Amino acid sequence: MQQALNEQLAVNLKGRDFLALADYKPEEVRYLIDLAIDLKGKQKAGKIYHPLQGKTLGMIFEKSSTRTRVSFEVGMYQLGGHALFLSGNDLQIGRGETIWDTAQVLSRYLDGIMIRTFAHRTVIELARGATIPVINGLTDASHPCQALADYQTVLEHKGRLEGLKIAYIGDGNNMVHSLLMGAAKLGMNMSVATPEGYEPDEEIIRVTKENASETGSEIHICRDPREAIADADIVYTDVWASMGFEAEQKDREVAFADYQVNEELGKYAKPDFLFMHCLPAHRGEEVSEGIIDGKHSIIFDQAENRLHAQKAIMAAIM
């Protein structure tokens, strides 16, 4: 029965865009995670698997990147295809060509598009104009590829996802938006602690809670980091000033002064909690060195799994 379900899910995912986890059913999200683990096993065992042989992914970057560019480019190669780096400054889109026209033209050349940009509406408009699958590599509103890799990492370390509690401490940014939706889809509980004025988007919280009601997840938003982290299985944080908000760095350092994930705060979590960070990290700001470089940290497992999760996405939809 499970094999038949997986075969049907594989059919359903072909040709789809991957813009946000909200667009995917719980069983589809879990299918992609399981596929990522399977592809990781193949790669570790040295097995050749080229489902995308002869296909090309165009990668549009309007934001700088380490993990996104390298993992997509290497992942496409390992799947038998080719990845093409397209700087936003080099494309005609940087000189005023419409997103629609760009999408139409690229669709005539490529088999898929990954874009890492600022406004989420750019990704939506690109997907509307394209006749090939579009992958959201990051926007100011969401980071679904990272969240998928994160939950793959949790599953590998904990052996399950359902019923686990993830605590997020810090800025209510694109990362927490995708983590919230992922938790709701996967039957996990999630608590978020942010300073006043830095909460996650209200509409995203509303939609997340709707999804959580279907899977039995509990979603909690609060101010107190100790309240959020209490009995957490996973503790997560991100930089206080994401890309595009660097000018607010000093103000944010003041606002987030009590939101550092450190050894003292970690005492409120479960003794075997996992620490996660999407990187890059600022040691001594959002997280202490003792936590990020300590026994609880799995940050580099997360980083590695960007490769495998994105391979799963590409293999499934392209």
Mean pLDDT of 233-250: 91
Higher pLDDT pick, 2 / 149: 149
How far, in Å, CA of 151 to CA of 153, rounded?
5
165-176: b (≥16 Cβ within 10 Å) or e: bbbbbbbbbbbb
Helix H or strand E segment including 307: helix 299-317
SS3 at position 254: helix
Q: Is 306 a catalytic residue?
A: yes
Residue of 111, 171, 238, 302 with catalytic role: 238
Q: What does the pLDDT look like over 119-133, one tens digit per residue?
A: 999 999 999 999 999
Please identify which residue in the block is written with the tokens 């939706």.
181
Contact 169, 237 (CB under 8 A): yes
Residue of 140, 233, 278, 296 with catalytic role: 278
How far, in Å, CA of 6 to CA of 175, rounded?
28
Q: Is 116 a catalytic residue?
A: yes
Q: What does the pLDDT look like over 80-122, one tens digit per residue?
A: 999 999 998 888 886 789 999 999 999 999 999 999 999 999 9
Structure tokens at 104: 């139409």
Report the predicted TM-score, pTM, of the whole model to 2 decimal places.
0.97
How far, in Å, CA of 37 to CA of 195, rounded?
36
Q: Is 111 a catalytic residue?
A: no
Give Cα separations from 111 to 43, 90, 106, 159 (angstroms).
Answer: 23, 20, 9, 35
How far, in Å, CA of 93 to CA of 129, rounded?
14
Contact 269, 317 (CB under 8 A): no
From the centroid of its chain, how far is CA 251? 26
pLDDT given for residue 90 in this prediction? 82
Contact 60, 117 (CB under 8 A): yes
Residue (of 219, 159, 157) closest to 188 by Cα position: 219
* DSSP 8-class letter at 140: S
Structure tokens at 220: 């909690």
Residue of 17, 111, 146, 252 with catalytic role: 146
- 136 assigned ligand-binding residue: no
Mean pLDDT of 250-271: 97
Out of 121-130, 200-209, 243-252, 293-302, pick the least confident.
243-252
Provide the residue count of the chain. 318
Residue (of 84, 50, 91) closest to 69 by Cα position: 84
- 116 assigned ligand-binding residue: yes
Higher pLDDT pick, 2 / 276: 276
Contacts of 149 (CB under 8 A, 6+ apart): 36, 302, 305, 306, 308, 309, 310
Q: Is 249 a catalytic residue?
A: no
Q: Is 121 a catalytic residue?
A: no
Q: Is 108 a catalytic residue?
A: no
